[in-house]
A and B are shown apart, each in its own frame.
Chain A
Amino acid sequence: MSAAAHARPGVIHHHDDARFELVCPAGSLPALKAAVDHGADCVYLGFRDATNARNFAGLNFDEAAIAEGIRYAHDRQRKVLLALNTYPQPDAWPLWRQAVDRAADAGVDALIVADPGLMAYASRQYPGLRLHLSVQGSATNYEAIQFYHEHFGVARAVLPRVLSVAQVQQVCENTPVEIEVFGFGSLCVMVEGRCALSSYATGESPNTHGVCSPARHVRWQQTPQGLDSRLNGVLIDRYEEGENAGYPTLCKGRFDVAGENYYALEEPTSLNTLELLPRLMAMGVRAIKIEGRQRSPAYVAQVTQVWRQAIDHARASQTRYSVHPAWMAELNKVAEGQQHTLGAYHRPWK
């Protein structure tokens, strides 16, 4: 299997700024069009079920929408990637296997996959179909990436949002697999694919159901102490009069630890790596991913436009690149909690 795997298409061994890709989220057809119209090189989307990690009501694509989305993107020389990045559950393998078949039939440009069993199926059944390792595959080191490359011909890996810039560079230097990193959007503070906090509280997690802190378990309650946000009964936060209330993602609540109440795990904040862009390009990162398939077409348009400008700017001259204040202002408007951070890329965050 390995020899054939090495011959798979799309593995680039040298970095090439001209092929640096902006990968944008599409939770719906209007979002897909917004991404394409505002300069995305690739859009990623998912089916309307538990086979992808944004399995939210009212989101995602059926066959007709995918067909139209692919037509729209391909007519404009852009790519469509399909996220199939949850773990096939013990009794429901056919759902995930058929999702691979449906994606291949639809003519997507690549599958974004986390599960080795699913990769084995896809690489056997559709040897010409390009595979990307999802961030949910938790590959934080080049040995893990090499595993997926040698056995399933994975051409690109999306890194979890836990590595520092130096660690990203180390990965880039030691693998022939293209590296994609997160540039903007909601920040996962835990290693993706290795977090069961959501199922501990609700019974449903990204790995098993494609959801984190699912909306159907959220309750808002006004009490004399303040506005409570609960997840399946667990008090995630309590807001006083005048405080901005945020969605109760459970790692971003305020909790009591050792007599102190604070954001014990992480603040409600967005990842924003605009200022790192030239460094990431120079070390050979091949693509930047924007998070947010659950966000509106207007969000997608706005964020895509800013990142398109930034990438074009950095491509023209990495040394003269600087972050325009207007870009930051635009992005902060749509950031979670109107705040941003460099997250783990910047070592002191840890």
Chain B
Amino acid sequence: MKIALGPLQYYWPRVTTLEFYAAVADWPVDIVYLGETVCSRRHELRLPDWLEIADMLAAAGKTPILSTQVLLESGQELKTLYRITENDRFAVEANDMGAVHRMQGAPFVAGPFLNIYSKPTLDVMAEQGAVRWVMPLEMGRAGLEQLQRDRPAGMQTEVFAYGRMPLACSARCFTARNRNFPKDNCQYVCMEYPDGLLLETKESQAFLTINGIQTQSALTYTLIHELEALSRLGVDVIRLSPQSRRMDAVVQAFRAVLDGQESAAQAHERLVPAMPEGPCNGYWHGRPGLDMVLPPQASAA
């Protein structure tokens, strides 16, 4: 199985972002998804900057893929979309049906927001040129088993395996709302929260994370205990979603478990302190997403 680094969900300062990807060049990842997928107001890096990063990573032996924005509303956002779908140098991850339409049959990765839950829909995506699909976050092992049996020949499968989950998106910016700023004059306050802004219940349960127009889980999804199962199911790629702290350790932990150099239980224990609010894996087990199910040997330890 290959390791992919998902698109950066947060808004980091330009230098931080450039330094992050400079470091990625040396990490044991195979594929790197690049670009702004959350909010077109974020402008520390523009498309030419992302293309430069893509060149640098390609030179380092990685496969860069340009991810399209998830929520496309304005004409300007469509123009950026066209520049991505019409680029002739890098592969594209389509995160909206508008992006699928603009690919016009050229090969693409069908992103996790396209709602591919069944074989007939996966077939439609294959006809459109999808060469890989990313399982929806809500889907678990049972659904994946079924779709792996059903998937069209040559179609690769990618599974989100680590990170705070992007659960919803809105036209409203919740980070700006927290500061009583209108979205059109948001003052880019999301840059103050490199891993998003925590939302807790009135009894201090870490519930969600506000990240601009996106709402994420507060807990960090992890399938580190399931890498063998994923491999047995024929999954081709696992996706790790960037966080601001110790992302290198996250990548190395997954690599070590995949290579059989460390047990999942050990790696998990090492990673939990790097998670802002702790782990979850409920979706994989067909349970509420915020649940955490430890394998029997791990919970006994």
| A196/B78 contact (C-beta < 8 A), A117-B121, A236-B201 known | no
Per-position binary interface string of chain B over residues 138-162, scored 1 when its CB falls under 8 Å from any chain A CB and 0 otherwise: 1100111011001000000000000
CB interface residues, B 92-120, toward A, < 8 Å = 96-102, 113, 115, 117-120
B174 touches A265 (CB 8 A): yes
A257 touches B121 (CB 8 A): no
B168 touches A264 (CB 8 A): no
A191 touches B210 (CB 8 A): no
A264 touches B174 (CB 8 A): yes
Hey, which chain B residues are within 8 Å of A203, CB to CB? 282, 286-289
Of the candidates A117, A139, A202, A347, the one whose C-beta lies within 8 Å of that of B119 is: A117
A88 interfacial by beta-carbon distance below 8 Å: yes
B70 interfacial by beta-carbon distance below 8 Å: yes
At the interface, is chain A mostly helix, strand, loop or mixed? mixed
How far does the alpha carbon of A254 sit from the alpha carbon of B199 in the complex, in Å?
A: 10
Rounded to whole Å, the gap between the CB of A116 and the closest CB of chain B is: 4
Q: Which residue of B lies closest to A188 (CB)?
A: B170
Hey, which chain B residues are within 8 Å of A147, CB to CB? 97-98, 100-101
CB interface residues, A 160-212, toward B, < 8 Å = 162-164, 167, 170, 189-191, 193-197, 199-203, 205, 207-208
B202 interfacial by beta-carbon distance below 8 Å: yes
Hey, which chain B residues are within 8 Å of A349, CB to CB? 172
Rounded to whole Å, the gap between the CB of A236 and the closest CB of chain B is: 7
How far does the alpha carbon of A90 sit from the alpha carbon of B118 in the complex, in Å?
A: 5
B88 interfacial by beta-carbon distance below 8 Å: no
| A194/B208 contact (C-beta < 8 A), A90-B117, A207-B138, A255-B202 known | no
Rounded to whole Å, the gap between the CB of A201 and the closest CB of chain B is: 6
B67 interfacial by beta-carbon distance below 8 Å: no
Which of B72, B198, B201 has its CB near the most chain A CB atoms (within 10 A)?
B201
| A195/B167 contact (C-beta < 8 A), A140-B73, A141-B98, A350-B173 known | yes
Interface band, chain B: 35 or more
Hey, which chain A residues are within 8 Å of B150, CB to CB? 90
Per-position binary interface string of chain A over residues 104-136, scored 1 when its CB falls under 8 Å from any chain B CB and 0 otherwise: 000000000011111011000000000000000
B178 interfacial by beta-carbon distance below 8 Å: yes
Hey, which chain A residues are within 8 Å of B146, CB to CB? 90-91
Hey, which chain A residues are within 8 Å of B290, CB to CB? 200-201, 234
Q: Which residue of A lies closest to B120 (CB)?
A: A117
Binding site for A on B (CB under 8 A): 70-75, 77-78, 81, 96-102, 113, 115, 117-125, 136-139, 142-144, 146-147, 150, 165, 167-174, 177-178, 182-184, 197-205, 207-208, 210, 215, 217, 282-283, 286-290
Other A-B pairs, 9, CB within 8 Å; known A88-B117, A120-B124, A191-B170: A88-B118, A89-B118, A91-B142, A93-B118, A117-B122, A140-B73, A170-B75, A194-B169, A199-B289
Nearest 8 Cβ contacts at the A-B interface: A117-B120, A143-B98, A117-B121, A162-B171, A147-B101, A200-B289, A90-B146, A144-B98
**What are 24 residue pairs bridging A and B, where the CB atoms are less than 8 Å apart in the complex?**
A87-B117, A89-B143, A90-B142, A93-B119, A117-B120, A117-B121, A137-B97, A138-B115, A144-B97, A162-B71, A190-B168, A194-B168, A197-B208, A200-B217, A200-B290, A203-B289, A207-B138, A234-B290, A235-B202, A256-B202, A264-B178, A264-B199, A350-B182, A350-B184
